[in-house]
Structure 1
Amino acid sequence: LATILGAKPVNGIDKNVDILVVGIISKPYDQLLTTQKLTYARTYGIPKIDELAFISWCQWRLDQLKATL
């Protein structure tokens, strides 16, 4: 969906990532996270948005594209 709407999803995170979309973490609190994406984003000042904000952006982008038809 993101690609179709003009975003460039990536599997990893580095300094070139503009925004990190954060999904629901489905691990118990007593288990160590296997990803360090949130820590990396915080360290390098990469903004984070949740899934609802991403869906809102998708709707906004669809409205933009629809207006050009």
Structure 2
Amino acid sequence: MSKVERKIEQYSDIINLPRPEPRCHPRMPIEKRAAQFAPFAALTGYEDVVKETIRKHEDEIELRIFFNSDSDQ
């Protein structure tokens, strides 16, 4: 008999019992339980800063392309 089987055997009288329901504390609804684990913005405003940085770099690239194409003519 393996260690796991021995452990299960030790608790065989309670292992298949239903989970106890608290009398004074109602269970949280599934919708609220799931909301606990919903993603959140740990760094508020970070996404806006990243978007602004991307926009600035794209503008800079467009200007370089524009001026380089002008000098070719």
Name the structure with the higher strand share. 1
TM-score under structure 2 length normalisation? 0.27
Name the structure with the higher helix share. 2
Q: Please tell me whether Structure 1 or Structure 2 has the larger radius of gyration of its CA atoms.
A: 2
TM-score under structure 1 length normalisation? 0.28
